[in-house]
Structure 1
Amino acid sequence: MAKQFVRFQYKHKIDWGLVTDEKILPLQTGDKTTKDLLVDLQKKRIKLNTKSKKTLRKEDVVILSPITAPCQIICQGANYHKHTLESGLNPKSKTYNLFFTKSDVALTTAIGDVIRPHHVELLDYEIELGIVFGKTIDSSLDINSYNPNDYIAALFIANDISARDIQLPQLQWYKGKSYRTFLPAGPILSVLEPDDYPLIESLELNLTVNGKIRQSAKSNQMVYPPKESIAELSQFARIQVGDVLLTGTPSGCALKAPGKLKQIFASFLPEHKKWEVFIKGQKRRSQYLQPSDEIKATIRTSDGKLDLGEQILLVKQG
């Protein structure tokens, strides 16, 4: 069974802990990076004595992001069929795996605040399954022969917060998705055991805003599953231990592309006018995040054998 780890602060000190019976067993490793923790676990430098009585209650600690900077954050776009449609793309013509990057400055805790920058009005949410690499990739992998389980060390919940009025009109995906607090990660770093890998395709992703369901899907609905994506990624990227891959979001985001007729009409407008019309239309959508909105997100199997915890976020105005 996968082991659940958290990175936390207790009495001004940062440590990693093993979650057991709703309590935290401090590992007394100090503030290690995600990479160093995974390496130590692989080399069995950390002994997990679950019989220790020196545990902490979750409510007595501050849970931090289990993904630490510096790290490479690679993302997949439009990787669920219905989200491809709501993004305005034609699934029949999108015959490619869309990759982009996000700054590690965006990393933040899974239980805390998401800050909407003062100049942003179209703030969106995107629940995603996050993969943490546990092995370096410095050459192309053969999709027919390599085993993705050799490279996937852990899983976590990611929320790819996006400023749509920056990302799309300015064609700035990196900028529009990388403001501080735009990547809540965790709370759990679920380090997988061999028997856990088949469960990845059985995970259920759910996100609510103010108690109302917005996104709900299963991970097996990905257009490009992890094995295929990692193999393609290996062709043009060098991956280090501790780097992460966000595997795309399901449908249900606040963003919804204009209909075909509106897109045809907009194509005759000057570029700046086209985006003015787009932003005006998006502002009518009540789904975009507002200050004081509460976002909750979970990723788990229906039987609870693999559970990545729960994110609880509050939107605040910057």
Structure 2
Amino acid sequence: MPLIFDPPSPPTLPVEGLGDLPVGRIFCVGRNYAAHAAEMGNEVDRDAPFYFTKSPSSVLRTGRTLPYPPGTQDLHHEVELVVAIGAPVFKGLGGKDAVLAYGVGLDMTRRDLQAAAKEGRKPWDLGKDFEGSAVLAPMVPASEVVGIGGQMITLSVNGQERQSALLSDMVWSVSDIVDHLSQFYRLRPGDLIMTGTPAGVGAVIPGDRLEGRIEGLPPVTVEIGAPE
């Protein structure tokens, strides 16, 4: 039968030297830096990572303006290493060559809505998954990135640094995450993993300009606009 309407085209991200990557699912790792977990009043679960998701419609390319989202009075920044999957992985099989590219992203969060959901033992969807909540920079092929661990990850707001850590501070490494996540999902090319944020998260307001950086990768920038 014919489709009632045409499905939306997937968002895409440029991968240097390869072309545009169609974005599939977006998996996000929670509490992957112990200092961030502590600042939020939590402890890291060292038995296994845990996840939440964002929809492809949450993708906003770097350099754009993000209108201050509806329903919140406490929008927060979280800078993260982003991993693009480039080959099928299931139950760890294929994981060695699964990572296609690395990039920098911002997991924008309606913190007041997330906090209310946590207090009521409800899902985090309203706090984490909304239009423009995944701000993403162009990616670099994994073959051109020498190891992941010693690089600094930073976030500044209006030129003032707020977040800073080493990628080696992650509780769960990229290979740990891919192996664990693939025990529950058939990871496929185009899936993204946002690997968690270091300490120093905080609120932003209209007019603020954010810049996230990881050594050796293109930076991610966004300006917070007025509410629509």
TM-score, shorter chain, exceeding 0.5? yes
Aligned twin of 1:83:
36
Instruction: Read off the aligned partner of 2:135 and give its amino acid letter.
Output: P
Given that 1:77 and 1:98 are in contact with CA atoms closer than 8 Å, whether structure 2 keeps it comes out as yes
3-state SS, counterpart of residue 147 of structure 2: helix
Instruction: Read off the aligned partner of 2:204 and give its amino acid letter.
Output: L
Moved over 3 A (4+): 31-35, 66-69
Shift, 1:95, TM fit = 3.4
Give unpaired runs (5+ residues) of structure 2.
1-8
* Residue 151 (structure 1) aligned with residue 104 (structure 2): no
Aligned twin of 1:185:
136
C-alpha distance in 1 between matches for 2:184 and 2:95: 19
Bigger Cα Rg? 1
C-alpha distance in 2 between matches for 1:231 and 1:295: 32
C-alpha distance in 2 between matches for 1:175 and 1:250: 22
Distance 1:162 1:217, change over 3 A: same
Shift, 1:119, TM fit = 2.4
Aligned twin of 1:176:
127
C-alpha distance in 2 between matches for 1:177 and 1:82: 20
| RMSD (Å) for aligned C-alpha atoms | 2.5
Give unpaired runs (5+ residues) of structure 1.
1-30, 47-65, 255-287, 301-306
Shift, 1:97, TM fit = 0.8
Aligned twin of 1:108:
60
Given that 2:53 and 2:129 are in contact with CA atoms closer than 8 Å, whether structure 1 keeps it comes out as no
- Scaled by the length of structure 1, the TM-score of the pair is 0.62
Q: Which has the higher helix share?
A: 1
* Residue 122 (structure 1) aligned with residue 70 (structure 2): no
* Residue 215 (structure 1) aligned with residue 163 (structure 2): yes
Aligned twin of 1:74:
27
Question: 1:33-90: per-residue Cα shift (whole Å, max 9, x none)?
Answer: 759x88x95xxxx8xxxxxxxxxxxxxxxxxxx6544x10001011011011012112
Shift, 1:147, TM fit = 5.5
Distance 1:67 1:157, change over 3 A: farther
Question: 1:172-192: per-residue Cα shift (whole Å, max 9, x none)?
Answer: 422211211111101x22012
Paired residues, what number?
214
